[in-house]
């Protein structure tokens, strides 16, 4: 949950930076307005490390959720292996063996993978599943009539 919140903050920061710095400086140049170049931290590499397909952190977690014998430990191992040389996603030296770190624009955040896969597995509420089963749309009806979507 915290990883998703921090990812959203990364995207908001990128949007802010793009509009406040890149686009404004471009506009000043186009209009011939004198201005001093402002350097700012571009967080594109952080966002790519999290969302880029097929090697981003979210893709690794999602693909691990599809594996029948996956555990939080196997997920963490894949994260470590995928980001061996990364300065964005890495194994923190001073924390528990179930942790990984992300160097967000606002600073380092340590995440614990315990229950990561469980939390990442999408489970639909029974009311939604039943509603989709009774849909007038044949595709939705057939998809959600599948026993794999049975409410727990």
CATH number at residue 76: 1.20.58.530
Residue 5 maps to a domain: no
- What residue numbers bound the domain in which 59 lies? 42-121
3-state secondary structure of 110: strand
The position carrying tokens 């890495």 is 90
Would the pLDDT of 63 be above 70?
yes
CA–CA distance, 88 with 11 (Å, rounded to integer): 15
Q: Which of 24, 17, 63 is nearest to 40 (CA)?
A: 17
Residue 50 maps to a domain: yes
Residue 37 maps to a domain: no
State which of 10-14, 121-125, 138-142 shows the largest mean pLDDT: 10-14
Q: For the chain, what is the domain count?
A: 1
Residue 117: CA count within 13 A, CB half-sphere: 18
pTM above 0.85, yes or no: no
Residue 106 maps to a domain: yes
Residue 99 maps to a domain: yes
Would the pLDDT of 90 be above 90?
yes
Residue 20 maps to a domain: no
Residue 150 maps to a domain: no
Structure tokens at 15: 């949007």
3-state secondary structure of 10: helix
Model confidence at 71, pLDDT cuts 50, 70, 90, reads: very high
Rounded average pLDDT over 105-120: 92
- Residue 43 confidence (pLDDT): 94
Residue 71 maps to a domain: yes
Residue 132: CB atoms within 10 Å: 16
């Amino acid at each position: 949950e915290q990883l998703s919140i921090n990812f959203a903050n990364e995207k908001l920061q990128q949007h802010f930076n793009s509009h406040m710095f890149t686009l404004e400086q471009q506009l000043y140049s186009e209009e011939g307005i004198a201005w001093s170049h402002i350097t700012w931290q571009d967080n594109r590499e952080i966002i790519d490390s999290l969302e880029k397909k097929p090697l981003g952190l979210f893709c690794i977690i999602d693909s691990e959720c599809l594996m029948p014998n996956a555990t939080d430990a196997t997920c963490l191992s894949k994260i470590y292996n995928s980001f061996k040389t990364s300065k964005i996603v890495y194994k923190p030296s001073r924390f528990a063996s179930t942790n990984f770190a992300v160097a967000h624009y606002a600073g380092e955040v340590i995440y614990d993978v315990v229950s990561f896969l469980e939390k990442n597995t999408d489970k639909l509420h029974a009311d939604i599943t039943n509603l989709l089963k009774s849909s007038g749309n044949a595709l939705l009806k057939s998809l959600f009539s599948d026993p794999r979507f049975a409410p727990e």
